[in-house]
Each structure stands twice: as C-alpha cells, then as structure tokens.
Structure 1
Amino acid sequence: MPKATRPDLAAMLVPLGRALTEAERPVLDRHGLTMWAYVVLLGLDEEPVHTQAALAKAIRADKTRIIPVLDDLQQRGLIRREPDPADRRVNLVQLTAAGAHLRDRAQHDIQQQEQQLLADLPTADRNTFLRVLQLLAERTGTAETQA
C-alpha cells in the first residue's frame, strides 16, 4: 500500500469547522444569537413555512432540542409559530421580517470575517475552494443547514 499523500478529508475539515464555529461565536453574541438560533434562522430561509418536525429534520436537530430555541425566537418576534389549520397538533414555523433582517446581518458579518481568512488565497483558488465546498455540501445534504 502506498503512503497517503494527504490527510483524510475529515481530518482537515473537522478542525477547520471547529475553528470557524468558534470564530462565529463572538459575531453571533453581538447579534444576540446562539449557534442553534442562527441555524434555525438559516433553516427557515429555504421555504416560507415549515412544520417544527420538518425544520428539525432540515437542520439535523432533535425536534425536542429546538423547542426552547423556537420559544426564544418567537418571544423576540423573529419567528411566528401557529397551529397548522389542517392538523392543529402540528405547529407551522415562519420567519418574520425582523428574523430575516437579523439573520441577514449576522450572516453578512460572519461572511465578512470569513473573507479575512480567505483573503490570502489567490482569487482563482478562493473561488474554486468555495465552489467545490458548496458542491460537496450540496451532495451530502449539509448546505445551508449547519452553522
């Protein structure tokens, strides 16, 4: 067996992911968001209305784990939760304009911070890296659902 010429993908990506998550924390703190709250706000971007169960599945969270997060976001006017008219046992979750605005500001600040990390890369390499990373995230079903 020939010796590997590079580390495994997880060996490279997991530490990078942890470092990026830690770098996001102060940004989210400035916006008054927890990581899970931010993930929920990002998860609500794809469709205008989700059931709580569908949202939990989309963001890969246990549906009972996100209930306190949803409670907080609702109390702050960032989401609306209403019973589904077709099945009153089910709650529908929808992003409010205030929630979308806060999500967009936080995401803008996070991505500006990421640009600093990427700034030393040649433009072609940076663009290729981002394109391939997005493609891999889409293939694995993790695009836009993990913070």
Structure 2
Amino acid sequence: MPKAPRPDLAAMLLPLGRTLVDLERPVLDRHGLSMWAYVVLLGLDVEPVYTQAALAKAIRADKTRIIPVLDDLQRRELIRREPDPADRRVNLVWLTPAGARLREATQHDIQEQEARLLADLPATDRDTFLRVLRQLSERAR
C-alpha cells in the first residue's frame, strides 16, 4: 500500500483539541466554571429554554451526568430550572442574566486565547480554517 498523503483527521485534531482544552482550563478556573458548566452555558445560548433531557442531548452529555452541574449552576443563580407547566415531570432550564454575562465574559477570554494561537497564520488562512471548521462542526451535529 502507498503511504497516506496526509495524517488522519483525528491524528491532527486531537493534539489541537488537547491544546485548546489546556488553554481554556485556566480561563474557566478564573471564571469559576468547570468544562461541563461552560458547555451547559454555551448550550443555553443556542436555545434559550430547554428541557433537561433536550439540553443533555444537545450538548451530548448523559442526562444524569449533568444534574450535579445544573444543581451547581442553579445554586449560583446562573440558570433557572422550573417544572414545565405542560408536564410537571419535566424541568425547563434557561439562563439568568448573570449566567449570560458569565458565559459572554468566559467566551470572550477563551476566544482571546484562541486568537493568540491563530495569530501566526495569515489572515486568509485563519478565516478559511474557521469557516471550514464551523461547517464541519455543524455537519457533525
């Protein structure tokens, strides 16, 4: 068999993903968020109100695994959870204004870190990379 013309996508993306997680961790710590808490806050930006089960599915988390995360975010008044008036067995989840502010501040700081990582790329390459990455990310959903 001839040698592959390039590394596999996972072989290229995994080290980048690990680097991004390492860059995000201190930012999340400064904002008092775990990675899962940040994922929840980001997920609630896509849809303003979710059921807990729909939120878990949207962020690809086990619905039982995010309950302690939701409990913490609710205790800190970053989200609200209330029974659905149409089905009281189901909880609806949404961001509070404080949760939205924290999400925006955290995302701003993370994207500043990402900008530094991408700064050495020519602007056209950076724009193309981000556009294609967004397209691939949307397809993966």
The DSSP-based 3-state class of the residue aligned with 1:44 is helix
The residue number in structure 2 matching 1:79 is 79
Distance 1:37 1:44 in 2: 11
What is the TM-score normalised by the length of structure 1?
0.94
CA shift for structure 1 position 14:
1.1
Distance 2:67 2:133 in 1: 31
Distance 2:55 2:18 in 1: 23
* 1:29-58 deviations in Å (ceiling 9; x for gaps): 000000000000000011111000000000
CA shift for structure 1 position 24:
0.3
With CA pairs under 8 Å and 6+ residues apart, which has the higher RCO, 1 or 2?
1
Q: Which runs of 4+ in 1 moved over 4 A?
A: none
RMSD across aligned C-alpha pairs, in angstroms? Answer: 0.6
Letter in 1 for 2:27: V
**Where do 5+ consecutive residues of structure 1 fail to align?**
142-147
Letter in 1 for 2:23: A
Deviates more, 1:16-25 or 1:33-42: 16-25
* 1:4-25 deviations in Å (ceiling 9; x for gaps): 1110000000121111111100
Greater helix fraction, Structure 1 or Structure 2: 2
Alignment coverage as a number of residue pairs:
141
Distance 1:22 1:91 in 2: 33
CA shift for structure 1 position 2:
2.5
The DSSP-based 3-state class of the residue aligned with 1:45 is helix
The DSSP-based 3-state class of the residue aligned with 2:65 is coil
The residue number in structure 1 matching 2:40 is 40
Letter in 1 for 2:90: V
**Where do 5+ consecutive residues of structure 2 fail to align?**
none
**For 1:66-145, what aligned pairs fall within 5 Å after superposition?**
66-141=66-141
